[in-house]
């Protein structure tokens, strides 16, 4: 019998803390707890913590100061929670709180057994700005934190689909994970739980601008204190679960693509536009960008990647995957021909194709200052997301090799990433083409999902299954877990040295594909109250399972 290409972990529920887990589960299902949880996320959304790309240093740019308002919100809400919960009041003295670079929050929940590796839970509380021109398109104001479950007007057909949602920027990305994390800890503390394993909680404040002032500083602080490879596992924002091919799949991110922005600059003599050259800098730049888009990176499936392993999970556990797709994926394990067939079928899905290969997107372009003056310079920025099987150097070489023929065609001196590549041989240079980039980000190390070193992944997988079942009062195995990868980069890029086991996962229901909500980073970001409750249940279960485990 052939081995299962997508083996599943056993459902994992707490053992020594079984009664506590059951009791908290019953609490989460009460109207009182639901009301409190809704208030937690609603209040968090109302604190406007936008991050802009041009923000100056902390302490100099006043736009950072709203982070302090969020700190104050957490201090009011946690640990005091809500009086209506009838819990005893307590203070932050249970957890040690440190502020890193003024606004980064670092909590330490000290365990009683220092021989156990600590676990690290991450989130960020900044959000992308709301475009002022789109405010009128929001069903409810973007920073209202409005809960529509009590809305008597939510009876129209299209609104009925959206009832019982908390609306606003950050409700999904990423204040929901932050509130679920701290809410789970709060709930455990109110029940008198004290961990044996230490849990460290790190909340960044500028993830939407790359995390240089938040997560980077937090990671340095943690590394200095604990050292390399010091954590059993790390959890940050990322994948969730959704229905794929008729079955429910959870896809915790075990890998992350690299990234690099390549600046393409064309310079040439200016002059009056009444006597133009055959090609202006803008025309040349346009030709270069068209050439790039017409020659995308070749994309192939590698059997050693997490993406390929996820495809095997789809083939093994989906109930409605087309038979040709299932057959091609299964046969591809031993057949290169079948692997190419699988590529042709799978890559019809643009999202799947973009996850597998290196992508390119021309996102910024500038050139010219006056309609009757020849532009002396034109430049563009091309963003690449680098495949896990590639590298920054390979991506730079691809761009340089691809544009070299056009540099020669336009008689340009060509420099790429600090090196002169070519100069015109028979004519004087008509201008300069320069490729440059800041330091790129290499693809992340891949967290192990099989073998002796995969215990953290097995623990996470079993926790996912237990949470999914408990939240729906189900028995048996009702959700498959496969290795995923987020479409963008997360703050975990600063934490690679702290653990080999980094997972980007929030146990977030991928519900937006089945209703009119737009999701994160755009109009009508919203989160269902039920999704928030399940996220809290997930973090409670994860903490209890991790605390009991002696395999990680």
What are 120's two structure tokens?
Answer: 């690290």
Phi first, then psi: what are they for 507, rounded to 5°?
55, 45
Q: How far apart are CA 104 and CA 124, in angstroms?
A: 9
The answer to the question of whether 324 is labelled as a binding residue is: no
What are 277's two structure tokens?
Answer: 């050259």
Give the C-alpha distances (Å, rounded to integers) separating 142 from 138, 155, 160. Answer: 7, 21, 20
Please count the other Cβ atoms lying within 10 Å of the Cβ belonging to residue 114.
11
The answer to the question of whether 236 is labelled as a binding residue is: yes
Q: 148, 174, 207, 525: which one is catalytic? A: 207
What are 152's two structure tokens?
Answer: 């008597």
Phi first, then psi: what are they for 525, rounded to 5°?
-65, 130
Alpha carbons within 13 A on the beta-carbon side of 395: 29
Measuring CA to CA, which residue among 69, 117, 68, 72 is closest to residue 222?
117
Phi first, then psi: what are they for 524, rounded to 5°?
65, 40
What are 484's two structure tokens?
Answer: 């995923």
Q: Are strands 247-250 and 233-244 parallel, antiparallel or unpaired?
A: antiparallel
Measuring CA to CA, which residue among 514, 507, 512 is closest to residue 524?
512
DSSP assignment letter at 264: E
What are 234's two structure tokens?
Answer: 């790390």
The answer to the question of whether 263 is labelled as a binding residue is: no
What are 19's two structure tokens?
Answer: 């009664």
Whether 484 and 310 have beta carbons less than 8 Å apart is answered as yes
Cβ neighbors of 88 (< 8 A, separation 6 or more) are 190
Residue identified by tokens 């929001």 is 138
Residue 349 annotated in active site:
no
Q: Report helix, strand or coil for 446.
A: coil
One DSSP character per residue, 501-529 reads -EEEEEEEE-GGGGSS---TTSTT-EEEH
Residue identified by tokens 């019998």 is 1
The answer to the question of whether 173 is labelled as a binding residue is: yes
Q: Report helix, strand or coil for 169.
A: coil
One DSSP character per residue, 175-232 reads HHHHHHHHHHHHHHHHTT---SS-EEEEEES-GGGTSTTTHHHHHHHHHHHH-TT--S
Residue 126 annotated in active site:
yes
Cβ neighbors of 289 (< 8 A, separation 6 or more) are 264, 362, 365, 380, 382
Which contiguous run of DSSP H or E holds residue 71?
helix 66-77
Annotated binding site for Zn(2+): 124, 173, 208, 236, 521
Catalytic residue set: 126, 207
């Amino acid at each position: 019998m052939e081995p299962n290409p997508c083996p599943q972990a056993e459902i994992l529920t707490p053992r020594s803390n079984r009664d506590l887990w059951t009791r908290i589960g019953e609490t989460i299902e009460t109207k009182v707890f639901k009301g409190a949880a809704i208030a937690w996320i609603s209040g968090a959304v109302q604190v406007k913590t936008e991050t802009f790309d041009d923000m100056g240093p902390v302490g100099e740019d006043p736009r950072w100061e709203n982070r302090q308002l969020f700190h104050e919100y957490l201090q009011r809400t946690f640990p005091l929670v809500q009086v209506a919960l009838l819990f005893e009041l307590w203070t932050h003295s249970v957890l040690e709180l440190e502020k890193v670079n003024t606004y980064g929050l670092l909590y330490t929940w000290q365990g009683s057994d220092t021989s156990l590796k600590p676990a690290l839970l991450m989130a960020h509380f900044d959000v992308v700005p709301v475009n002022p021109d789109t405010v009128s398109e929001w069903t409810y104001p973007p920073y209202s934190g409005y809960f529509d479950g009590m809305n008597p007007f939510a009876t129209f057909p299209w609104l009925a689909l959206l009832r019982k949602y908390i609306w606003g920027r950050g409700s999904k990305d990423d204040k929901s994970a932050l509130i679920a994390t701290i809410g789970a800890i709060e709930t455990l503390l109110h029940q008198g739980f004290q961990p044996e394993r230490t849990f460290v909680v790190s909340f960044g404040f500028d993830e939407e601008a790359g995390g240089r002032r938040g997560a980077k500083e937090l990671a340095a602080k943690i590394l200095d204190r604990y050292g390399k490879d010091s954590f059993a596992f790390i959890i940050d924002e990322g994948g969730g679960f959704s229905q794929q091919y008729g079955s429910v799949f959870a896809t915790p991110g075990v890998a992350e693509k690299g990234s690099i922005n390549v600046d393409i600059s064309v310079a040439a003599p200016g002059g009056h536009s009444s006597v133009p050259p055959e090609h202006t800098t803008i025309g040349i730049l346009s030709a270069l960008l068209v050439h790039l888009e017409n020659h995308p990176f070749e994309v192939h499936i590698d059997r050693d990647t997490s993406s390929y392993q996820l495809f095997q999970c789809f083939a093994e556990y989906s109930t409605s995957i087309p038979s040709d797709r299932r057959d091609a994926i299964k046969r591809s394990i031993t057949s290169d021909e079948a692997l190419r067939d699988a590529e042709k079928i799978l890559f019809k899905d643009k999202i799947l194709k973009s996850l597998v290969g290196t992508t390119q997107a021309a996102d910024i372009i500038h050139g010219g200052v006056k309609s009757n003056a020849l532009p002396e310079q034109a430049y563009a920025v091309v963003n690449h997301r680098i495949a896990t099987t590639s590298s920054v150097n390979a991506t730079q070489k691809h761009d340089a090799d691809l544009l070299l023929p056009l540099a020669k065609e336009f008689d340009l001196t060509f420099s790429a990433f600090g090196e002169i590549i070519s100069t015109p041989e028979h004519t004087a240079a008509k201008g300069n083409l320069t490729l440059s980039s800041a330091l790129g980000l290499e693809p992340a190390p891949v967290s192990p999902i099989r073998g002796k070193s995969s215990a953290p992944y097995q623990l996470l997988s079993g926790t996912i299954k237990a949470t999914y079942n408990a939240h729906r009062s189900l028995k048996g195995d009702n959700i498959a877990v496969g290795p995923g990868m987020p479409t963008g980069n997360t703050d975990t890029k600063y934490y690679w040295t702290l653990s080999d086991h980094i997972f980007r996962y929030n146990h977030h229901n991928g519900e937006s594909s089945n209703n009119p909500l737009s999701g994160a980073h755009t109009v009508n970001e919203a989160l269902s109250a039920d999704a928030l409750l399940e996220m809290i249940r997930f973090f409670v279960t994860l903490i209890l399972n991790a605390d009991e485990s002696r395999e990680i």
